Structure 1
């Protein structure tokens, strides 16, 4: 018995020693890497990764220095550690990059080349105080010397900075990701992803997305700082086979040349159970919060809260459409029209940019398509400062349906007829504690709803305007409650009701001053429409 116990202990100690040995750090310079910024180290770094993997995994260390490289591929149980002062510098020659998982993006371009990549791996990570620099502008300048295709086609050949594909247990912490030649970081169909204290500065060429979370599950992102030329934080589903769900995000600082927080545009599989909170968005030129299902996805159970925006063009865009693109044509087929429902956005403070995509600017655009309304959307505790400047003519602007078009704010231009909230094809829209302020008079309504059901406006604070036709306009709206709102200024009517389908409108306990009529009905409604007015 004693000898058996001694043998068992010896085996345990030997196993522990082997695990400790296998987890030893591997320095890339031991495999010939030179940190002088000019020697191409792709093979040396890959040899270090492969050796670490064969010995059981561990850390592959990038020491202080500038290490030029093309594509390097991580393996199971590998963490790439960038020491303080370490720079992993991307080659400016597109031929130094590989595409280990090709696909087509939302614009129809073949993409997928990358600098650092992991495909079908477990337990992979990147950490440390160093940085990865893709030299995007220099790579583009070098590429166009020999690639004579139009820019709209050739950009896809440029590499992403980081791609993590179908991996499990992924950690990216502490590092800085700079100047990608395309998307900065793309996580596709991964599970158990943790991203923390990452800084991204990626501008200078087109398509510089910051973080793309594509069909991933069980994701946390905390305390990151993103400055991106394109979308800063973007959720995608470029495949119909895996939903983007169970995601918690907080503490992000975002600056974007496009959208700061975006779900879609690529949107084949569902987006579900996503929570985003405590984010600061600034100097963003094409939308603060954008929720877009246009390729068949169901967007469901999304909660966005406690967001501050400063100098953001069009704070909120919510769109259900029917573009119905396919991005992996050898693996997928076109989906049916999706759904957008059960979304709550609350505690939003925004200073909208005076110069916006749509002029004069508007705060919130919400639109489904005929027979496919956006359902059960709640906007609560919303405060937006806007430039104003709309005219009576602007108040009657007809907005294109654009059913199968790319879902962008400018798609619905040149302007929308409400300065505050314009909503179309909605069912179950609730707007509570909404406050707008205007720098200039605006003759457009604060709220317009076209083709709506079960609409609630409660406890709005509507700024002083003069000479508007109406503060609120309802067109073909059934079952609306407009209660406890405070209106300053003057207008011909508080609520203008139009459209033969309008009925069951309740207007209760509103504080009005300077309003000629509480309710005005269009000529085709003056007989028989149920209107309840108890102010």
Structure 2
């Protein structure tokens, strides 16, 4: 009996080793790399055969292999050799939607070029590329699809979708010119993305990398140039959090936001660390942390970030839009929370031509009754254009409680040039510095409806004619100490709608007329 068991074990091990070493070439299944033959059936047969045999590698050799939707299966690695290109068909009818859902704009989406659903141990790797031909596909589509563009775009395929998969690796490949989102990972566990190059622009909604309700994620050394958000964390379902994620070493260029969290935000975002990233030429926010659909956003740390030519470096938002994205599968959530976030070691050069004119550096806002809590901003320097006048310093910013969370939602400008914060508790501002290209008489820092505010060791540049350097409106408790303030202003700190009993101002170096001015009205 013991001998028989050993023999069976040996046979099983042999089959396992064979499966690990199995490699099939898509050409052996009839695929042709001439750029015109539709290869969907041939590539799928290669994948299915490999998976049925226990798994292995499906090799895409040099050539341009035109295809519609292909679905990866468990234990299969799609290996793209050098000069190999999987090319997306320009006919939307060549694509399938294996996991439909609704995006944050209310559009039905989910079609994809390369897709995996409920699979384990899958990978896409190599030196080749996947090209979605997004611009060409759109041109063909609009010839027959007469719906408005806001509805029509959802029918276009994502380049890569990985849905409810476990142990996923994407390494070395180029992902190019998607017709919609470039890569979307939904509710995956143990996801590893490394050395991936994304170049995707030319049509709207070209998100680079969307991490949607995934856990145990590692992303490193990637280069993303996207027409829409570059690195975006979402939770389009309330059932699985974005959790236990480490990101490092990314270069990000974006037509919208570079590092973004929460335009779809039903389940939590927690235990996320992002570091050592360079953001450049980005049109709609460098770091944007948002929760507006009920998510708890907490225990997030972002550090060692550089930004060049970025419109509005930082936006933090807790709102109450409360959308539902998976029809019939989810229910509306109550307003979420935003707490325990640290952003440190950031050096940013803000674009002069921004969504807010004159531009501002950092926007932080909850909604009435729901506070952003325990946020620390430490060692942050921002270069700004300046140009704000006295009227700008009294701009009333809309609450926009249930609106889509964007910088422009709070426009056309905000009344502080450096940091404007509203509905906040436990906000710590330490070692913040600004430089201005021109005079700005708006306060450097404004806090409205706050408690336990700390402003320490900040370096405020010289301006002339300002009413105050720091304005506190309806702030219960604050500590302002160790700050260096150049130039002149009527007051270092102006306190409005508060008795000021718990506001402590000490050991600051300044040349303002008055250290604190209390306005009781």
For the criterion TM > 0.5, the same-fold answer is yes
Partner of 1:519: 516
Q: Are 1:20 and 2:17 counterparts?
A: yes
Q: Over residues 375-424 of structure 1, what are the superposed CA-to-partner deviations in whole Å (9 max), with x where a residue is unaligned?
A: 00000000000000000110000000000000100000000000000000
Alpha carbon RMSD of aligned pairs, Å?
1.0
- Asked whether the equivalents of residues 63 and 86 of structure 1 are also in contact (C-alpha less than 8 Å), the reply is yes
Cα 1:105–1:502 shift into 2, 3 Å: farther
**Structure 2 stretches lacking a partner, 5+ long:** none
**2-structure distance, mates of 1:245, 1:222:** 17
- Asked whether the equivalents of residues 359 and 414 of structure 1 are also in contact (C-alpha less than 8 Å), the reply is yes
Q: Are 1:125 and 2:123 counterparts?
A: yes
**2-structure distance, mates of 1:15, 1:324:** 52
Q: Are 1:264 and 2:262 counterparts?
A: yes
TM alignment of 1:198-209, pairs within 5 A: 198-209=196-207
Partner of 1:338: 336
Match of 1:155, SS state, is helix
- Asked whether the equivalents of residues 499 and 520 of structure 2 are also in contact (C-alpha less than 8 Å), the reply is no
TM alignment of 1:157-176, pairs within 5 A: 157-176=155-174
Task: State the 1:10 CA deviation.
Answer: 4.0
Partner of 2:478: 480
Partner of 2:303: 305
Moved more, 12-21 or 22-31: 12-21
TM alignment of 1:81-160, pairs within 5 A: 81-160=79-158
Partner of 1:427: 425
Partner of 1:529: none
Q: Over residues 165-215 of structure 1, what are the superposed CA-to-partner deviations in whole Å (9 max), with x where a residue is unaligned?
A: 000000000000000000000000110000000000000000000000000
- Asked whether the equivalents of residues 70 and 113 of structure 2 are also in contact (C-alpha less than 8 Å), the reply is yes
Partner of 1:364: 362
Instruction: Indicate which of 36, 39, 43 corresponds to 2:37.
Output: 39
- Asked whether the equivalents of residues 498 and 520 of structure 2 are also in contact (C-alpha less than 8 Å), the reply is no
**Structure 1 stretches lacking a partner, 5+ long:** 525-535
Task: State the 1:329 CA deviation.
Answer: 1.9
Instruction: Indicate which of 420, 427, 436 corresponds to 1:438.
Output: 436
Task: State the 1:502 CA deviation.
Answer: 4.8
**2-structure distance, mates of 1:9, 1:100:** 43
**1-structure distance, mates of 2:38, 2:501:** 71
Aligned residue pairs: how many? 520
**1-structure distance, mates of 2:167, 2:252:** 25
Match of 1:475, SS state, is strand
Instruction: Indicate which of 212, 215, 218 corresponds to 1:214.
Output: 212
- Asked whether the equivalents of residues 93 and 142 of structure 1 are also in contact (C-alpha less than 8 Å), the reply is yes
TM-score norm. by structure 2 comes to: 0.99
Q: Over residues 114-173 of structure 1, what are the superposed CA-to-partner deviations in whole Å (9 max), with x where a residue is unaligned?
A: 000000111111000000000000000000000000000000000000000000000000
Q: Over residues 430-488 of structure 1, what are the superposed CA-to-partner deviations in whole Å (9 max), with x where a residue is unaligned?
A: 00000000000000000000000000000000000011111010000011000000011
Task: State the 1:518 CA deviation.
Answer: 1.1
- Asked whether the equivalents of residues 115 and 161 of structure 1 are also in contact (C-alpha less than 8 Å), the reply is yes
Match of 2:427, SS state, is strand
- Asked whether the equivalents of residues 500 and 518 of structure 2 are also in contact (C-alpha less than 8 Å), the reply is no
Task: State the 1:7 CA deviation.
Answer: 5.0
- Asked whether the equivalents of residues 384 and 435 of structure 1 are also in contact (C-alpha less than 8 Å), the reply is yes
Partner of 1:464: 462
Partner of 1:323: 321
Match of 2:28, SS state, is helix
- Asked whether the equivalents of residues 475 and 502 of structure 1 are also in contact (C-alpha less than 8 Å), the reply is no
Q: Are 1:194 and 2:217 counterparts?
A: no
**2-structure distance, mates of 1:20, 1:495:** 71
Cα 1:241–1:5 shift into 2, 3 Å: closer
**1-structure distance, mates of 2:193, 2:96:** 25
Cα 1:501–1:32 shift into 2, 3 Å: farther
Cα 1:68–1:474 shift into 2, 3 Å: same
- Asked whether the equivalents of residues 477 and 501 of structure 1 are also in contact (C-alpha less than 8 Å), the reply is no
- Asked whether the equivalents of residues 300 and 340 of structure 2 are also in contact (C-alpha less than 8 Å), the reply is yes
**1-structure distance, mates of 2:12, 2:369:** 64
Q: Over residues 212-266 of structure 1, what are the superposed CA-to-partner deviations in whole Å (9 max), with x where a residue is unaligned?
A: 0000000000000000000000000000011110000000000000000001110
Match of 2:513, SS state, is strand
Cα 1:298–1:501 shift into 2, 3 Å: farther
Task: State the 1:500 CA deviation.
Answer: 3.8
Q: Over residues 29-79 of structure 1, what are the superposed CA-to-partner deviations in whole Å (9 max), with x where a residue is unaligned?
A: 000000000000000000000100111111111011100000000111111
**1-structure distance, mates of 2:64, 2:17:** 30
